Amino acid sequence: MSPSASSPTKMLGKQKHQPSTTRKNCCPCPGKSSEKELIPNFKSTEEFYRYLEKSKPTQLMVINFTTEWCGPCKKAKDPFEKLPDDYGDVKFAKVDVDALMNIAEELDVTMMPTFLLVKVKKLEKEHVKKDGMQGEHKGKTEPPEKEHVTKDGVQGDHKEKKEPPEKERVKILIKSYKMVELARVVGWNKETEEKLRKKIGTHR
């Protein structure tokens, strides 16, 4: 195994966390603005996809798949946090692989750190379709003899639909957005840092 990358040996139990953020300077210096570009560190699937939802389709995003126990990840931490200073038009994010193994598996991330260069594609809202009959119920009135069926929720999809539960909202977000991979860089050392910068410059 390359000394510049680590492979996960176990998957920790998933917990709900709010995304943490990292500042380049922990304390604002006198006379300088404390408003700094934040690099979110996601540990929640919903928060991650909410972040994708706010991304522009043409904007490059660099995602650092990392863990707290990975040695090369620790070495990459400070250099990665400086990248927004050089690429102001690029979005940067971190994904905690121990907390979001599902996203790492979806993107075939097996080594840490892995840096994915992606752009976000919004998909058609397939969750709206019901048995291939999308839009056919629009504007139609349910026949009187069938109205009683809607009371038990069997045929109530197009009538006073309630807000879906949290898990259902996450499923909808996952189905609505796709990350299109442009390039990836695995591991961290001087060579991989230069390689990452070149790829950012190519795809930005």
Q: What are the catalytic residues?
A: 70, 73
Tokens of 32: 């300088």
135 torsion bin: left (phi>0), alpha (psi -120 to 50), beta (else): left
The Cα 188–Cα 196 span in angstroms is 10
> What Å distances lie between residue 91 and 19, 26, 61, 102, CA to CA?
16, 21, 5, 22
Tokens of 77: 């931490």
Tokens of 92: 């940067």
Residues 6+ positions from 5 with CB-CB distance below 8 Å: 72, 111, 112, 113, 114, 186, 187, 188
Residue 42 near residue 14, CB atoms below 8 Å = no
